[in-house]
Structure formats: C-alpha cells, structure tokens
A and B are shown apart, each in its own frame.
Chain A
Amino acid sequence: MVKHRYSFFLGCVIPNRLPQIEAATRLIAPKLDIELVEMKGASCCPAPGVIKSFDKDTWLSITARNLAIAEENGLDILVLCNGCYGTLIAGVHDLKDPVTLKRINKILKGTGHQFQGRITAKHLVEVLYNDIGKEAIEETVVNPIDARFAIHIGCHLLKPSDIRPWGVVEDFTLVDELVETLGGTIVDYKLKDMCCGAGGGLRSAELEVSLDMVREKLEAMKQAKIDAMVNVCNFCHLQFDLGQMQANKHFGTDYQIPVLYYTQLLGLAQGFTPKQMGLDKHYISVAPFLEKIGMSV
C-alpha cells in the first residue's frame, strides 16, 4: 500500500513548457512511496503576480476551484512551483475566513465545485523534507552525485513567512540539505537569496530588467565555480535556463551554467538516465555537469 498520497498540481509552466520536470517527478515519486493523484481539470493557479494584482476575487475563486478539486480527491496538494504554491497556500489561508469562504463559494456555484477548507497545499520541499524525510530519500540513492552546486530557493517558497510552515526563514537550509542527501556539495554564493527576476509579471512585461536580474545571479554563481545550479521552482528554472540563453544574447555574455530542478537531480541519484530526466530538453547544455559525474546525455 502506498504510504504518501497527494493531489498533484501541475499549474501551467510545467506541463506546457517544461514537461521534463513533470516526467522526472512522476518517475522519482514511486521510489519514495509517493502516489501522485491527478487533479482532473485543474487550471492555472492562477498567477499571483498578474491575476491577483488585477482582481482578488477572480484570483481567489479560481484558486478555490483548484483547492476543491484536490479536496474532492480527499488529499492535500503537492505542488512543484513556488508561484503556484504561493497562490494555493494563500488561498487556503484566506478561505479560512467564513465570510470570504461563503462569498467565494457563491461565485463557484454553477461550476460543480465548493471548497470546504479540509485540505492544504504542500510544496515539494515540505513533502520531501517533512513527510518523506532525508533518511528515506537517502535510501533510494544508488548513484551519489559528487558535484558542486549553487542553490536557488526562490521567493514564494519562504514568503510571506507567516503563512508558511517553516518558522524562521532566514538562513533557510532545507533545499541545501536535500541536495547534500544526494551526495552534492553546496557552494555559497553572493546574492543567494535574491529573486531570479521572473515573477510578479516582470519577465512577461519587462524582459530586459528581468534578464539583468538573472544575469547578476549567474555572475555570482560563476564566481563560485559550481558544476550546476539546483532550483525548486519551475518558473525560476525557466528563468535560469531559457533566461540564461536570452541574457547571453542580450548582454553579450557566455554563461554556461547547467540548471536542474531538484527532482531531476534526485532522479539521476536514483539511477534514472539523463534522458529519462529530460536533460536533453534544456536550453543550456547539461553535458559538462553530466561529464563531471560520469554520465552523458
């Protein structure tokens, strides 16, 4: 019998632009005794930077519909995207207010869904660190990854901290520890806690500013002499991978920093091939990193 079951929230960017992250996550889950139950008909979270900024009731109603689909599964949500996590956990929080819940459920009438407030949303990091545990993850490692990594945590995973499960969010080390569990060495770098520059509608409306922010982080990572960077948010991942290529073109730089979402790295450690982890689908070649750990695409 499967020990850990979650409603699997995909959002937009993962299934529709970075399906390699979806594929990797679906492959690593059974090894950790995780069952990912589909959220049939789920939509955009919706995007906090744009939709929430425009109209809170629209944002909260669509969020509530997604939460209701998970509730109909009878399972908490597992979410891979920091932005989607930010929306879903804020939705859970806001809908604890009975007046708000009643107003939003009235808007949902006609959709066939009503949210009752019986489930919550958990980010991948919370599931892996708190529900599964480092020891259980380590037991699935057959191919320790001996390489130097820079970690990018992202913004919405930690903040606003009063509606996050972490307690203190300064010097947040959970992602570092999860990478160390796979055999990796964490390298500190300047600007580690800085935003990637993608969120808040910045990447879609102010691409040059957005790319300048990621360029700053890439330069700091380069100075730290890492083999690859690891992230836990697909939108950050997109920014570091596609955005790195765009920044190189825009600023005349030549950054070649391989970018991995955590479940892709975990999959390699569990013995899956780089191709199974979709590492051949990246904009910036992952080949130098794979060569370092004795693999090839």
Chain B
Amino acid sequence: MRPEHQGVSHKLIETGHAVPIDDPKWSKMREELGLDPLPPTVHSYPKAVKEIQHIIKQTGFDKLVNYKESKKDGKT
C-alpha cells in the first residue's frame, strides 16, 4: 500500500471525497462560476459523511488503511 494511496483513503474516510475541497480557493472558484460554494455532495450533508464512516467501520477499511494509527503518527 503506497502512502499516497493510503492518504487518499484517509481523505475518503474523513470527508467522503477522495479529492475534497481542502482549500477555500476551490469554493471561491465555484462561486465565480455561478455555483454554490459547496457541491450538493457529502460536503453539504454532514450526516452523509457519517454514513460513509459507518460503512467503513462495518467493513474494517479503517483498520486496513491504518487510519487511527496514521492519524496518531501525524501521517495524514
């Protein structure tokens, strides 16, 4: 498991997106294009992120990608 791919997995667990809005410039760009600053995805529905995390817990994916341990080590 490459650390880059592990990082992508951690972003999915934390946000529901493998490529999330992680800088205000992306929301600004959306607004410049006439879009809402956040898309109508998990980004606009905190409950939806919980649903993804529920799935992750059920399958044990968090353990597979060493989620908690990596966070503790500051690798995320």
Cα separation A40 to B33 with both chains bound (whole Å): 20
How distant is the Cα of A19 from the Cα of B34 in the complex, in angstroms? 10
In contact, B12 and A57 (Cβ under 8 angstroms): no
A44, A201, A205: the one within 8 Å of B16 (CB): A44
| A79 touches B (CB below 8 Å) | no
Contact call B41/A46, Cβ cutoff below 8 A: no
Complex contact B17–A12 (CB within 8 A): yes
The count of chain B contact residues (Cβ–Cβ below 8 Å) is 39
How many A-B contacts at CB < 8 Å in the complex? Answer: 132
CB distance from A57 to the nearest CB of B (A): 5
Which of A15, A112, A204, A205 is the one whose CB lies under 8 Å from B39? A15
Is there contact, CB below 8 Å, between B26 and A46? no
Do A58 and B39 touch across chains, with their CB atoms under 8 A apart? no
Q: Is the CB of A205 within 8 A of B19?
A: no
**Chain B window 33-76, contacts with chain A (Cβ cutoff 8 Å), 1 for yes, 0 for no:** 11100011111110110011011101101001100000000000
- Taking a contact as CB atoms under 8 Å apart, the answer to whether B30 and A19 are in contact is yes
Inter-chain contact A54/B17, CB cutoff 8 Å: no
* A209 in contact (CB, < 8 A): no
With both beta carbons as reference points, the residue of chain A lying nearest to B56 in the complex is identified as A58
Once bound together, how far apart are the Cα atoms of A55 and B67, in whole Å? 14
* B55 pairs with A62, CB closer than 8 A: yes
Of B4, B9, B42, the residue contacting A43 (CB under 8 A) is B42
The answer to whether A112 and B51 have CB atoms under 8 Å apart is yes
User: Known interface pairs A10-B41, A54-B1. Does A23 touch B52 (Cβ–Cβ under 8 Å)?
Assistant: no
The chain B residue sitting closest to A235, CB to CB, is B19
Q: B41 and A55: CB pair below 8 A?
A: no
Query: In A188-229, which residues have CB < 8 Å from any B CB?
Result: 201, 204-205
Residues of A within 8 A of B12 (CB): 43-44, 46-47, 51, 62
A110-B2 contact in complex given A17-B19, A23-B33, A57-B59, C-beta closer than 8 Å: no
Given contacts A20-B33, A46-B12, 7 further A-B contacts (CB under 8 A): A10-B39, A10-B41, A39-B41, A42-B42, A43-B16, A50-B5, A112-B51
